[in-house]
């Protein structure tokens, strides 16, 4: 009798488990209709509300295998190139086939960028995201691309990188290289967009606040509740917003009174006028722009630079070949010249190839996201209107853009990394404290110890 009762309980528990496990599938079956649901690619919708987010997080977190999440879909459903899933609280089609990815990336008429809700923490009012893409791109790209523009930045970037490496080499204790590089890159992007007059204390406070903001990007639990990473990030964002609001007001008053000249990109945005003399951007629009730019301008590049230093330090033959190139360039330098110039940087062919290979092998963005504007049929499978398209891209060389959309800061990032590597290769060496340290892939691939190391100046 007891055995029968145990079997009934086990059967009931299994039944409840199977029902709950299939509840997400049932929900979308009812919502889409049987015919539309059957036209979806194979896959797994996961648990109610959570979907497959925890499986995704497990694969990409510390000690996980970032390939296992996709491999699991392939082994269960075959290599069909598209799989239904549920990530970041939204129904999602995961695309793994390069040709399908290309079609989606290039078709702006049907697919538009659409990121998880957690990424929207980089917006305050949502004004900038609603701006015309071409207009927004011009605003962001203008101060970060082109020979003439970048050549003006070489001197101060050269100084920042040289001083940073010198400071690291004097530390008695190991440094977290990722964080230290982030500080250097934050100085660069802040100087370009905010100028030199916002004050050291404000700069330091902004840098600290952005450290709390970064971990919330691509958070699978973007809830504004005490104890959650997202809650802490929202508080940091509010403080950043207040600081930027004060800086904009101070600059606006000084510019209108002609007490200062237009210097930074913030100044240009403040003073921008249409044909009728009306200002183009109010404070909220400028804050929306700067909030994301200041993050992207130092966060992602610092990951790329860290991996560049790791790889070049681990491969002596590559290091020596890069050093030969740098020494050759120095030998041709005029005795009257002080520091790097843009012409010398253009001669660093091998170093640029090295950086490109690092970016290919260590793709910083985990994936790209698109949203279908209408139902679309691809390879006999339907992507429903409003569903996200998640496109993982390991091993492919698209570090700065996808399809018709290209990162406006790509050239500036390469310039920063090139100058940093130039000084490191010629004058320093790096020794990691934990050479076998694990890697985590969220929000971007990095060493768990943030590349704890010592930087030593060569004699």
Do 89 and 166 share a domain, yes or no? no
Q: What is the mean pLDDT of residues 394-400?
A: 47
Among candidate residues 439, 449, 443, the one with its CA nearest the CA of residue 62: 439
Q: What is the mean pLDDT of residues 224-231?
A: 85
Q: What is the mean pLDDT of residues 24-43?
A: 85
Residue 215 lies in a domain: yes
Domain at 281, CATH number: 1.10.630.10
Please count the helices (runs of H) and the strands (runs of E) in the chain. Answer: 18, 14
Do 106 and 217 share a domain, yes or no? no
More confident residue, 241 or 261: 241
Q: Give residues with Cβ within 8 angstroms of 289, minimum separation 6.
A: 128, 136, 139, 140, 269, 281
Number of domains forming the structure of the chain? 2
Residue 370 lies in a domain: no
Residue set of the binding site: 407
More confident residue, 168 or 221: 168
Coil, helix or strand at residue 38:
helix
Q: How would residue 431 be classed by pLDDT, with cut points 50, 70 and 90?
A: very high
pLDDT at 436 over 50: yes
And the tokens for 17?
């488990």
Coil, helix or strand at residue 440:
strand
Do 255 and 316 share a domain, yes or no? yes
Residue 56's domain comprises 2-115+378-391
Do 64 and 185 share a domain, yes or no? no
Residue 242 lies in a domain: yes
Q: How would residue 349 be classed by pLDDT, with cut points 50, 70 and 90?
A: very high
Do 222 and 109 share a domain, yes or no? no
Do 104 and 172 share a domain, yes or no? no
pLDDT at 34 over 70: yes
Residue 123 lies in a domain: no
pLDDT, one tens digit per residue, over 361-388 is 877 776 778 888 888 898 889 889 888 7
d(CA 57, CA 60): 5
pLDDT at 393 over 60: no
And the tokens for 457?
């100046």
pLDDT on residue 396: 47
pLDDT on residue 397: 43
Do 278 and 134 share a domain, yes or no? yes
More confident residue, 399 or 413: 413
Q: List the alpha helices (DSSP H) in 297-348.
A: 299-314, 316-331, 342-346
pLDDT, one tens digit per residue, over 155-181 is 999 999 999 999 999 999 999 999 999
pLDDT, one tens digit per residue, over 310-343 is 999 999 999 999 999 999 999 988 888 888 988 9
Do 387 and 408 share a domain, yes or no? no
Q: Give residues with Cβ within 8 angstroms of 275, minimum separation 6.
A: none
Q: What is the mean pLDDT of residues 338-349?
A: 90
For 21-25, 340-344, 392-396, 442-446, which range has the lowest pLDDT when averaged over its residues?
Answer: 392-396
pLDDT at 20 over 80: no
What is the average pLDDT value for the chain, to the nearest integer? 83
Residue set of the binding site for heme: 407
Do 403 and 387 share a domain, yes or no? no
Do 355 and 387 share a domain, yes or no? no
Residue 333 lies in a domain: yes
The pTM for the full model equals 0.85
Q: How would residue 395 be classed by pLDDT, with cut points 50, 70 and 90?
A: very low
Do 318 and 426 share a domain, yes or no? yes
Residue 373 lies in a domain: no
pLDDT on residue 148: 78
Report strand pairing: 90-95 vs 82-87.
antiparallel
pLDDT on residue 160: 95
pLDDT at 257 over 60: yes
pLDDT on residue 290: 86
Residue 369 lies in a domain: no
pLDDT on residue 441: 80
β-partners of residue 401 are 406
pLDDT at 66 over 90: no
Distances (CA, A) of 218 to 57, 347, 409: 10, 38, 21
Q: What is the mean pLDDT of residues 57-84?
A: 82
pLDDT, one tens digit per residue, over 111-160 is 887 777 777 777 766 555 555 445 555 666 666 667 778 888 899 999 99
Residue 89 lies in a domain: yes
Do 216 and 179 share a domain, yes or no? yes
Q: How would residue 245 be classed by pLDDT, with cut points 50, 70 and 90?
A: very high
């Amino acid at each position: 009798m007891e055995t029968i009762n145990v079997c009934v309980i086990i059967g009931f528990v299994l039944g409840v488990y199977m029902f709950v496990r299939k509840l997400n599938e049932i929900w979308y079956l009812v919502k889409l209709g049987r015919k539309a649901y059957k036209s979806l690619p194979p896959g797994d919708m996961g648990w109610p509300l959570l979907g497959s987010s925890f499986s995704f997080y497990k694969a990409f977190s510390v000690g996980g295998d970032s390939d296992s999440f996709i491999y699991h879909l392939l082994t269960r459903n075959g290599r069909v190139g598209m799989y239904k899933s549920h990530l970041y609280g939204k129904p999602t089609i995961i695309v793994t086939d390069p040709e399908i990815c290309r079609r989606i990336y290039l078709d702006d008429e049907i697919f538009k960028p659409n990121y998880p809700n957690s990424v929207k923490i980089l917006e305050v009012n949502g004004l900038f995201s609603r701006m015309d893409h071409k207009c927004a791109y011009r605003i962001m790209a203008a101060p970060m691309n082109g020979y003439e523009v970048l050549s003006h930045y070489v001197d101060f970037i050269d100084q920042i990188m040289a001083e940073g490496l010198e400071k690291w080499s004097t530390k008695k204790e190991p440094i977290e290289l990722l964080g230290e590089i982030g500080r250097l890159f934050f100085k660069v992007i802040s100087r370009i967009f905010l100028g030199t007059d916002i004050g050291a204390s404000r700069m330091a406070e902004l840098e600290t606040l952005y450290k709390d903001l970064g971990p919330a990007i691509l958070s699978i639990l973007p809830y504004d509740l005490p104890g959650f990473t997202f809650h802490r990030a929202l508080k940091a964002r509010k403080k950043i917003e207040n600081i930027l609001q004060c800086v904009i007001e101070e600059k606006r008053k000084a510019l209108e009174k002609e007490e200062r000249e237009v210097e930074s990109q913030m100044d240009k945005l403040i003073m921008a006028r249409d044909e009728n003399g009306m200002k183009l951007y109010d404070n909220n629009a400028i804050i929306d722009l700067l909030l994301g730019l200041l993050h992207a301008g130092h966060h992602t590049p610092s990951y790329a630079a860290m991996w560049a230093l790791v790889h070049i330090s681990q491969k002596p033959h590559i290091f020596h070949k890069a050093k030969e190139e740098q020494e050759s360039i120095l030998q041709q330098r005029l005795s009257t010249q002080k520091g790097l110039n843009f012409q010398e940087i253009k001669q660093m062919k091998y170093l640029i190839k090295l950086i490109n290979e690092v970016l290919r092998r260590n793709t910083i963005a985990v994936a790209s996201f698109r949203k279908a504007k209408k139902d679309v049929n691809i390879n006999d499978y339907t992507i429903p209107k409003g569903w996200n398209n998640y496109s993982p891209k390991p091993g492919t060389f698209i570090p700065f853009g996808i399809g018709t959309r290209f990162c406006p800061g790509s050239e500036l990032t390469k310039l920063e990394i090139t100058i940093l590597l130039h000084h490191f290769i010629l004058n320093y060496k790096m020794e990691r404290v934990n050479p076998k340290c694990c890697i985590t892939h969220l929000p971007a691939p990095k060493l768990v110890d943030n590349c704890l190391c010592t930087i030593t100046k060569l004699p």
